[in-house]
Amino acid sequence: MLRGLWWSGLRLGEALQLSWEADAPITVHLDGKYPKLRIWAPAQKSKRDGLLPIAPEFAEFLLATPEDERVGLVFGIEGPKPGKPLSTKRASRYVSAIGAKAGVVVTQDVGRSKVDEETGETVNIPKFAGAHDFRRAFGTRWSKRVMPAVLKQLMRHASIETTMSYYVEHNADDVSAELLPWAGNTSGNTGPKRPTAAPKADVVEERKSMLSKDF
């Protein structure tokens, strides 16, 4: 299921309910050119029925399931009642426990602290990865690949402002890397150039040889 969360960007509750059955609240829709999700209004945060696109990696993940096994819950994580998914609250605790055991820290500063028994110093208690961090990582990855309107659909945000927060988080190195291929020369006397293919290996070696000479 963790891999499914990573590729899909689904909220934990959505992933737990995701089903192969056509009449389920959230179902895999394989009719048409591309796999999609059909989410009925009661299971949708926006409270609207929707036939929604999914990331290609998640589509491949779903299609890897043999046809004769496409029944019931996609991830097969049931609660006490057969056929019914595990509660979101309990599943969230399990995922958080996995994140803590794996030592995956998402932030060191979360407003909590403790006194170190050996040194007597006050130290921050780190926050380990939980279920929603998979969705956050999905949004960050795809914000570097697609425009906001596309990401809004992928993440099923009700507001574009929520989507835009993923673009604001891009750091300076990401932005600089994007800008560099469009720059002119250092004296500013040439216009922007569109990115070109990387130089061939023999050209690269020739340039290295020229740079190594004493002029």
What is the Cα–Cα distance from 197 to 193, expressed in whole angstroms? 12
Which CATH number does the domain housing residue 40 bear?
Answer: 1.10.443.10
* Residue numbers of the domain that contains 27: 1-110+122-182
For the stretch 79-103, pLDDT in tens is 998 889 999 999 999 999 999 899 8
| pLDDT for res 212 | 44
What is the Cα–Cα distance from 78 to 121, expressed in whole angstroms? 44
Q: How confident is the model at residue 177 (pLDDT cuts 50, 70, 90)?
A: confident
pTM of this prediction exceeds 0.75: no
- Whether residue 4 is contained in a domain is answered as yes
Amino acid at 14: E
- Whether residue 47 is contained in a domain is answered as yes
Domains identified in the chain, total number: 1
